[in-house]
Chains A and B, each alone.
Chain A
């Protein structure tokens, strides 16, 4: 039995990453993600891993991609300004299908914004920060314990689907210390990258419907080409529209058509009622407290919490929302996940916004007040 300990969210990310098999971290420290770099520097040497502080965020992302190509599970962590800088290489990882985990501990933006203040303003950037139609998986935990488990899943999904996975943290969860017992996760399955067999006929980008070919580690005798240009099954650049269309379809399809395997969510009191709250990350905690208050006043409130933000668990939401009179999307930005929810509900039910974007953590009072106003 592991003892219950007080653990910080950023620390849980590092513990989860190491449990998932992290062997390489490259980064450039930035508040409020710095503890992740510090702890990786401290802990990785003891598990045969490497930590390197690069000259900037762009180089960090490039180093992570390079390490992953040699067969190592690799991660970097940053916050908004650094996340912006990493976008070009995140696109490269998406196009060249190189597994990696990018942690974005969100702070108040835009630009350098308020370094120590919480926000959830990177929801759309995490989906569309890099250019072109690209696949991505974005996961957002709302407690320290969940940060540990979701980090393991970030690595698993990244390896399984050969895609960058964004772990979308926020300052509140990153810096929060909570009593956690990780005992229940000691048997969590860890996905290991499969090794291709045939060296002579190796196709790193072989067409597999809704799937990926195994990625060979550099230096093991497999000859192949890696590029951000559109490429054929061997990885060589191409201008052939047919080959390109097939590639993009597969890239998008490997995520879209495996949603059932990828999406994670939680629901609370969703049997039906007056109000359905939709929230994620630390804001979901404010929702839980608000629900207790509203219940006392006889208002029936449910909570739908996507843990996988992208791809959004749309099927589940379509099942739940008709049981409620109104829907509110609660987030610390001016309304970003709101657009995805609004797209899914298509005007069939009223969808309202509850937002905070002044650098303060959303409170249960903010939510209770807005909901009472709506009656």
Chain B
């Protein structure tokens, strides 16, 4: 891994910018270099939001994502906007609520991230942490140990157990799909 570009996108309020910060901090705990940036419309909630992370072993020159290796999106509009920017062999992870175009159906990894947050954990706001668990299980951009430490550094103490569970549910979503997903995993 020399340099990995990751884009997290969804609706404002889904916590993906915090997820981006946590992912960048996990990379630092792994002894790597990282940058994180974000963009959002003027509205704080409901509009589209985007967090970008670059993780590298070296100095990062251009600090914004140009061609993502990994795109994770929790909102249909964000999927349509960003799906064509991908690096060749890039991984697209979308929430189950998003219906991919026919030509993409074989390429994307579709997982019930929001549903797991709502129904398994009972807290919609942990969809961002489940997303991080998915990324960590699916790729080796950060170690699970550093990710867990980075999550716990950022969340309120009272929610530590819930967030740890959210990470585990994220790992499980990928494990349950097993071989089907591993064939697609390129990084």
Asked whether any CB of chain B lies closer than 8 Å to the CB of A358, the reply is no
Asked whether any CB of chain B lies closer than 8 Å to the CB of A41, the reply is no
Some 8 contacts from A to B, beta carbons below 8 A apart, are A6-B21, A116-B40, A172-B37, A172-B63, A176-B36, A177-B21, A285-B62, A289-B61
Asked whether any CB of chain B lies closer than 8 Å to the CB of A211, the reply is no
Q: Given that A6-B34, A116-B39, A116-B40 are contacting pairs, would A179 and B64 also be in contact in the complex, using a CB cutoff of 8 Å? A: no
Rounded to whole Å, the gap between the CB of A33 and the closest CB of chain B is 16
* Docked-complex contact B35 and A176, CB < 8 angstroms: yes
- Selected contact of A178 from candidates B35, B42, B62, B66, CB within 8 Å: B35
Which residue numbers of A lie inside 8 Å of B, CB to CB?
Answer: 4-6, 115-116, 172, 175-179, 282, 285-286, 288-289, 292, 361, 363-365
* Docked-complex contact A115 and B24, CB < 8 angstroms: no
Residues of B within 8 A of A179 (CB): 24, 27-28, 32-35
In the complex, what distance in Å separates the CA atom of A365 from the CA atom of B67? Answer: 12
* Docked-complex contact B62 and A115, CB < 8 angstroms: no
* Docked-complex contact A115 and B28, CB < 8 angstroms: no
Asked whether any CB of chain A lies closer than 8 Å to the CB of B38, the reply is yes
Rounded to whole Å, the gap between the CB of A365 and the closest CB of chain B is 8
Q: B104-139 CB contact bits vs A (8 Å, 1 = yes)?
A: 000000000000000000000000000000000000
In the complex, what distance in Å separates the CA atom of A177 from the CA atom of B32? Answer: 14
Residues of B within 8 A of A282 (CB): 63
* Docked-complex contact A176 and B28, CB < 8 angstroms: no
* Docked-complex contact A6 and B66, CB < 8 angstroms: no
* Docked-complex contact A361 and B28, CB < 8 angstroms: no
* Docked-complex contact B37 and A175, CB < 8 angstroms: yes
Rounded to whole Å, the gap between the CB of B47 and the closest CB of chain A is 11
A31, closest chain B residue (CB): B42
* Docked-complex contact B62 and A363, CB < 8 angstroms: yes
In the complex, what distance in Å separates the CA atom of A177 from the CA atom of B24? Answer: 9
Residues of A within 8 A of B36 (CB): 6, 176-178
Q: Given that A285-B61, A361-B64 are contacting pairs, would A116 and B42 also be in contact in the complex, using a CB cutoff of 8 Å? A: yes
In the complex, what distance in Å separates the CA atom of A176 from the CA atom of B28? Answer: 15
Q: Given that A6-B24, A116-B42, A175-B38 are contacting pairs, would A288 and B62 also be in contact in the complex, using a CB cutoff of 8 Å? A: yes
Size bracket, chain B contacts: 20 to 34
Asked whether any CB of chain A lies closer than 8 Å to the CB of B25, the reply is yes
The DSSP consensus for interface residues of chain B is: mixed
A288, closest chain B residue (CB): B61
B36, closest chain A residue (CB): A177
Rounded to whole Å, the gap between the CB of A305 and the closest CB of chain B is 12
Interface residues of B in 14-45 (CB under 8 A from A): 21, 24-25, 27-28, 32-42
Q: Given that A6-B21, A116-B40 are contacting pairs, would A177 and B66 also be in contact in the complex, using a CB cutoff of 8 Å? A: no
B51, closest chain A residue (CB): A177
Q: Given that A6-B36, A115-B42, A116-B40 are contacting pairs, would A176 and B24 also be in contact in the complex, using a CB cutoff of 8 Å? A: no
In the complex, what distance in Å separates the CA atom of A75 from the CA atom of B121? Answer: 47
A5, closest chain B residue (CB): B28
A181, closest chain B residue (CB): B28
Rounded to whole Å, the gap between the CB of A5 and the closest CB of chain B is 7
Rounded to whole Å, the gap between the CB of B146 and the closest CB of chain A is 13
In the complex, what distance in Å separates the CA atom of A177 from the CA atom of B28? Answer: 12
- Selected contact of A6 from candidates B28, B62, B63, B64, CB within 8 Å: B28
- Selected contact of A176 from candidates B25, B37, B42, CB within 8 Å: B37
In the complex, what distance in Å separates the CA atom of A236 from the CA atom of B25? Answer: 56
In the complex, what distance in Å separates the CA atom of A263 from the CA atom of B112? Answer: 56
In the complex, what distance in Å separates the CA atom of A148 from the CA atom of B42? Answer: 28
- Selected contact of A363 from candidates B32, B39, B42, B66, CB within 8 Å: B66
Rounded to whole Å, the gap between the CB of A248 and the closest CB of chain B is 42
Residues of A within 8 A of B25 (CB): 6
In the complex, what distance in Å separates the CA atom of A116 from the CA atom of B24? Answer: 22
A177, closest chain B residue (CB): B36
Residues of A within 8 A of B34 (CB): 6, 178-179
Rounded to whole Å, the gap between the CB of A268 and the closest CB of chain B is 10
Residues of A within 8 A of B24 (CB): 6, 177, 179
Rounded to whole Å, the gap between the CB of B23 and the closest CB of chain A is 10
Residues of A within 8 A of B41 (CB): 116
Residues of A within 8 A of B33 (CB): 179
9 smallest beta-carbon distances between A and B, as pairs: A289-B62, A288-B61, A177-B36, A289-B61, A178-B35, A179-B28, A6-B25, A179-B34, A176-B37
In the complex, what distance in Å separates the CA atom of A178 from the CA atom of B61? Answer: 11
Rounded to whole Å, the gap between the CB of A23 and the closest CB of chain B is 30
* Docked-complex contact B35 and A177, CB < 8 angstroms: yes
Residues of B within 8 A of A285 (CB): 61-63
In the complex, what distance in Å separates the CA atom of A115 from the CA atom of B38? Answer: 14
- Selected contact of B61 from candidates A175, A292, A361, CB within 8 Å: A292
Central interface residue in B32, B36, B63, B66, by most chain A CB within 10 Å? B63
